[in-house]
Amino acid sequence: MFQSGFTVFSFLFLFVLCSAGWAGVTGKANVSLTGSPATEFSHVWITVTGIGFHTSNAEGVGTAGWLKYPLAIPVTVDLAELNNGAMQTLCQNISLPVGNYQQIRILLAPTEGTLTTSASTAGLQNNNQVVTNANVVFPLQAPSGVLQLVGKFQITEDDPLNLAIVTDTDRDVIQAMVKGQAEYFLRPILTYFDLNTAGGIKGSITVTGTSGYNFVIKAEQPKATDGSTTWRVVKRCTTVKNDGSFTLYPLAPGSYDILIRGRNAETFIITGVQVGQGTASLPSYTDLGPAIPMVTGLEYLVNATARPTGAYVNFYQTLPTDSTPYEVRFRQIDPFTGSFFDPIALSTGPLNVGAFNNGTAISFSPVDPAEGHGNFNAVADAYLYDRSAYVPVNSTTSTINFALHVSAPSVPAQVTGNIVIPPKMDNKHDTGSLLAIRDGLIIDRIDISSDMATGGSFTFDNLPGGTSTDIFKLYAIGWNSAAPLRTGMNSILTTVDLRTGSASGVDLTMFPYRVKMNFVDGQN
């Protein structure tokens, strides 16, 4: 399946490039891209310029040892169309030295750099951009210019590696309110499936009248933590097509529970769905049977706040007969405000539960969750921080609050320093944010508005420190709240080493905006 902007001419160049051989014993790899729901967007475009492989799971883009395959012609892909098992080929028959690899990175064109031919052909304004359901176009900022995949990938002389790299659009596109307007950022961490063994699940729903919209179908499995099962995680998710059908592919062979949720609709759970082992050329599909009729439901709205602001929140419900909670909804915290971009809607209805019936009609029964009718448990989590305790949520809850602890072996550390405002910029700005960034992710943000007029000191606390990987970048941004789009200043991206603990004397000098900056990677 080739998206707009991916011409036959481009593919021929890509095929020749990726077929180039290496000296010595080599094997082959095929790499495809697939997606997940984009319920908030009609289009999510990215422009790929290359792909790289490394035997280490910790090396950065600019370090030695990368096997890089730059594309002769960049490829522009609409992730919103890579749903229901749709695939986009990135490379075929890549020749790699036989061995074990632990990291793959997809290289992206600068969002607001020179428009590539493929992005121009697709009619885009930026190399990476989103189009909301209201048909409004926004640049999609791509942190560090890469999408990162960490895992275990074996290249053998005999059997090619067939890899599907998964982007989860609803989770990976982060909405933020910056300078009073919406901005969108692409979370750079990916997952993957081995297509040599993958299977899938097919089903359908029927929607009548007001019985719901924005449906998401999730394949969930229990997660084992410290030897005990504690909650279910989403292994693959999708949306429904116009005819109500859906496909969950790829999935690793095994047993799954399928959760179907939507706006203004009650939640359905199908237990014990078995996925068989397929092949890259002949996937194995399990059919759920006749279409499942959705039931109209009511909702209530809840907001959340969290530190660090790079956190996300899961909303769980549990069956009375099964102590392992299901993830029903998920929402990222806005990294600039520390709360949801907008409140999340939660169903007031029961869980409609039925067992898989080998392709025949499933009998569903309404069951109140163990949390109580229409109630949930919320959990916050964040990269480099421990998962929070469960927080009860019900229709009387307005806002839930989370404060996460740094994950061991790191310990809480702080950065202290000064925001320096040059004399010619005195008293021109009154609002500011200071970001801590690592691995292309906004980890946390603090408010520095009091320092924007003439400067002042700051303390950034509760950052991970004390281990060999605890190196961060700080970036400050400021503006005048009376004219946020016409004013602005920023610091340069400043490296802060917390490997031995806290750091002091970190001064950040502000400069006027000359061009719009991708503040995540600090590139003009």
Q: Name the residue among 4, 35, 44 with its Cα closest to residue 129.
A: 44
397 and 418 belong to one structural domain: no
The enclosing domain of 471 has a CATH number of 2.60.40.10
Asked whether residue 88 falls in the same domain as residue 28, the answer is yes
The CA distance from 313 to 326, in Å, is 13
In a domain, residue 132? The reply is: yes
Please report whether residue 524 resides in a domain.
no
What is the span of the domain harbouring residue 457?
411-512
Give the pTM: 0.90
Chain segment 416-453, per-residue pLDDT in tens: 999 999 998 989 999 999 999 987 789 999 999 999 99
Q: Do 324 and 425 have their domain in common?
A: no
Same domain, 161 and 205: no
Residues counted in the chain: 524
Contacts 24+ apart (CB under 8 A), 457-460: 457/416, 457/417, 457/418, 457/419, 458/416, 458/417, 458/418, 458/419, 458/434, 459/414, 459/415, 459/416, 460/414, 460/415, 460/416, 460/434, 460/436
Confidence (pLDDT) at 148: 86
- Measure the CA angle with vertex 189, ends 116 and 492; round to 5°: 65
Q: Which residue do the tokens 């030295």 mark?
A: 97
Same domain, residue pair 190 and 205: no
CA dist., res. 229 & res. 259, Å (int): 18
Q: What per-residue confidence (pLDDT) applies to 197?
A: 92
Q: Is residue 170 part of a domain?
A: yes
Question: Over the stretch 101-145, which tens digit does the pLDDT of each residue have?
Answer: 999 999 999 998 899 999 999 999 999 999 998 999 999 988 778
305 and 247 inside one domain: yes
Domain membership flag for residue 521: no
* Structural domain ending residue among the three candidates 382, 403, 424: 403
In a domain, 523, yes or no: no
Same domain, 176 and 62: yes
Look at residues 376, 403, 430 and tell me which one is the last residue of a structural domain.
Answer: 403
pLDDT band per the 50, 70, 90 thresholds, residue 522: very low
DSSP H or E segment with residue 92 = strand 87-97
**Do 86 and 235 belong together in one domain?**
no
Sole residue written with tokens 């481009």:
10
Amino acid, single-letter form, for residue 161 = L
Q: Is residue 3 part of a domain?
A: no
Tell me the average pLDDT across 483-508.
94
Q: What is the pLDDT of residues 379-409, one digit of tens each?
A: 999 999 999 999 999 999 999 999 999 999 9
Residue 380 and residue 363 share a domain: yes
Boundary residue ending a domain (403, 430, 455)? 403
Q: Quickly count: other Cβ atoms within 10 Å of residue 132's Cβ.
A: 15
Do 153 and 223 have their domain in common? no
What percent of the chain shows pLDDT beyond 90? 71
For residues 296 and 374, membership in a common domain is answered with yes
How far apart (Å, rounded) are the C-alpha atoms in residues 80 and 509?
40
Q: What is the CATH number of the domain that holds 274?
A: 2.60.40.1120
Summarised one tens digit per residue, pLDDT across range 301-311 is 999 999 999 99
- The C-alpha atoms of residue 80 and residue 241 are separated, in whole angstroms, by 12
pLDDT of residue 61: 66
Q: Within a domain: residue 63?
A: yes
Q: What is the mean pLDDT of the chain?
A: 89
Residue 425 is assigned to a structural domain of this protein: yes
Considering the domain architecture, whether residues 277 and 324 belong to the same structural domain is answered as yes
Whole-number pLDDT of residue 353: 98
Residue 172, pLDDT score: 87
Domain count, the chain: 3
Amino acid 145 reads: G
